[in-house]
Chain A
């Protein structure tokens, strides 16, 4: 019978979540392009870590990321995700927002999501780390095991592709 995780271990996990959660979420998000699903994967990874109950893990970050990514792959295999409804912006625009504004923002958000979905994972990774976490190129390079110059190039390429996709979408709408 597995030993029950100790309070100390739970506290350690919470600390790890605080320090690593954002980065791991961003990397998982880059893989699935779905905020909620990335969060679920993150929770799953930490739940598995909790079950480890302090057993030594050589590279904790890599372990968590691997568990989260595997979970995303499993879920993707099991089901195809229907497009998420977009009526979830109220929390960011407030309950008194003009319904027309909400609709417009939802549409914008959906278009950005669809455009991001057409990018490669590595392009989404650099975008979410730069614009989601406000990381420098140097820091991104450390995490992705690259160089700052290569990250700058990748960022530039990702922005260009995203802009092209948005332009195409826009023209499609205009037509």
Chain B
């Protein structure tokens, strides 16, 4: 708490006034609330609402990252294989990259589902990524084989929002 001199003659500057107010309010704050250190997520009702939404923003960020990675995989596959550079698509059944007029397969004939990397709250969870890559062979519409590549595999699950989770 500044002394009377701070309040008095040297309280000409705004900085002094601000310092005095900080000290004053700090001393006024009840001890149990004083210990409750400010966190970026604390306090307002709007923020409480966001808090109850859990990690939704982070989940959205992960979804965005996943989409970006999938796009990169598609783009690199298309660039490596086809000089015609057809528009990329996604083989929904296999979940691996493919291209228009062609198809992509997992030669092993099985999916290497990753271990669950942990449980995250939110509408979308990126459960994990397999340690080994998934070999993907591409071929065009005429059945010509393209280069084989290994891609990391992701397991994305859509989880309904549930406050108890």
**Contact of A170 with B27 at beta-carbon distance under 8 Å, contacts A22-B38, A134-B38, A143-B44 already known:** no
CB distance from B17 to the nearest CB of A (A): 6
- Cα A61 to Cα B36 in complex, Å, equals 18
B48 pairs with A166, CB closer than 8 A? no
Q: Which residue of A lies closest to B43 (CB)?
A: A23
A142 pairs with B46, CB closer than 8 A? yes
CB distance from A40 to the nearest CB of B (A): 10
B92 within 8 A of A: no
What residues of chain B lie closer than 8 Å to A146, measured between beta carbons?
none
B20 pairs with A61, CB closer than 8 A? no
CB distance from A91 to the nearest CB of B (A): 8
A18 within 8 A of B: yes
What residues of chain A lie closer than 8 Å to B21, measured between beta carbons?
112, 127, 131, 162
A47 within 8 A of B: no
What residues of chain B lie closer than 8 Å to A39, measured between beta carbons?
30, 33
- Cα A19 to Cα B1 in complex, Å, equals 27
Task: Kindly specify which of A48-56, A70-78, A103-111 makes contact with the partner chain.
Answer: A103-111
CB distance from B155 to the nearest CB of A (A): 32
| Contact partner, B43, options A62, A101, A133, Cβ 8 Å | A133
A107 pairs with B33, CB closer than 8 A? no
A159 within 8 A of B: yes
B45 within 8 A of A: yes
CB distance from B140 to the nearest CB of A (A): 54
Identify whether the interface residues of A are mostly helix, strand, loop, or mixed.
Answer: helix
**Contact of A22 with B3 at beta-carbon distance under 8 Å, contacts A35-B29, A60-B48, A92-B27 already known:** no
CB distance from A101 to the nearest CB of B (A): 8
**Contact of A131 with B4 at beta-carbon distance under 8 Å, contacts A25-B29, A139-B44 already known:** no
Q: Which of A61, A104, A112, A139 has the most CB of B within 10 A?
A: A112
B25 pairs with A132, CB closer than 8 A? yes
- Cα A133 to Cα B36 in complex, Å, equals 11
B11 within 8 A of A: yes
- Cα A107 to Cα B38 in complex, Å, equals 29
A interface residues with partner B (beta carbon < 8 Å):
16, 18-23, 25, 29, 35-36, 39, 59-62, 89, 92-93, 101, 104-105, 107-109, 111-112, 127-128, 131-135, 139, 142-143, 159, 162-163, 166, 170
A sample of 23 inter-chain contacts (CB < 8 A) reads A19-B41, A19-B42, A19-B43, A19-B51, A21-B36, A22-B33, A23-B42, A25-B29, A59-B45, A62-B45, A104-B4, A105-B1, A105-B3, A107-B4, A109-B1, A112-B21, A134-B38, A135-B43, A143-B43, A159-B14, A162-B17, A163-B17, A166-B7
A-B residue pairs, 5 tightest by C-beta = A61-B45, A132-B25, A131-B21, A35-B28, A23-B43
